[in-house]
Amino acid sequence: MARGQFITFEGGEGAGKSTQVRILAERLKQAGIEVVATREPGGSPGAEAIRALLVTGDPDRWSAVSETLLMYAARRDHIERTIRPALERGAWVISDRFHDSSRAYQGAGGGVDPALLEAMETFVLEHTRPDLTLILDLPVDKGLERANARGGAEARFEAKGTAFHERLRDGFLAIADSEAGRCAIVDAMGTPESVAEVIWAVVQTRLPIGNQP
C-alpha cells in the first residue's frame, strides 16, 4: 500500500490552525481519504502528558533548551505511536504543529542553537517529514488578541511577550522562504471559510488528490 501524505499546519498564536485542521480533515474524508488529525505537543498518550508540562505555568518555567528537549521527547512518541503507523497504512495525517514549531518557538523565538535543532530533527524525526506545510500568517497583535480571547489554562507561550512573538513570526516566514517546495504561506486574516478555500486550493495543487470535489 502507498504511504499516506503528511500535512502540517504552522503559525503563531491565534492563527486558526485547529479550525483549519478540522475543516481540511473533513474535506479530505469527503474525498474518500482516511485522515488522522492530530496535534503537537501531544497526539499520543505520552506526548499529551508532556504537553501539560509545556503549555501551562509561568512563561519562564523552562529554558528554551529544556523546552526543546521536552518537545522532541513528545514528538518522538507522537511519531512512533500515531504518525508513522497511520502513514504506513496509507492514511493521510494532518498535524496542528510539528518540527517547524520548534525551529520557530525555541529557535527563532528562544534563541536555541540551530545545531541542536538540526541534531534533534536528524535523530528524532528520521525519515518522517511533512509532504506539505501550511503556514498561517497574520500580524502578531491580531493573533495575540484572538488567542487571549480564547482564554484557558494553556496560555504559557502567549504570555512570552510581543517581542518573542515577532521573532516567532519572522522565524516561520524564514522557514517558508527557505523551503518553498514544501511550505505555503496562507494569509490568516480572512474568515475561516475564505482561509479554508485558499488552503484547499494549495492542497489540490501540491498533493495527489486527483479530481476530487
Domain containing residue 133: CATH number: 3.40.50.300
What domain count does the chain have? 1
Q: Is residue 21 part of a domain?
A: yes
Range of the domain at 179: 6-206
pTM (predicted TM-score): 0.94
Q: What is the pLDDT along the chain (213 residues), one digit of tens a residue?
A: 689 999 999 999 989 999 999 999 999 999 999 999 999 999 999 999 999 999 999 999 999 999 999 999 999 999 999 999 999 999 999 999 999 999 999 999 999 999 999 999 999 999 999 999 999 999 999 988 888 887 777 889 988 989 999 999 999 999 999 999 999 999 999 999 999 999 999 999 999 875 443
Whole-angstrom distance between the N-terminal and C-terminal Cα of the chain?
A: 24
Q: Is residue 68 part of a domain?
A: yes
Q: Is residue 1 part of a domain?
A: no
Task: Give the residue carrying C-alpha cell 504561506.
Answer: 185
Burial degree of 121 (CB within 10 A; 0-12, 13-18, 19+): middle
Whole-number Å distance between alpha carbons of 181 and 183: 6
Contact 48, 105 (CB under 8 A): no
Q: Is residue 86 part of a domain?
A: yes
Q: Is residue 213 part of a domain?
A: no
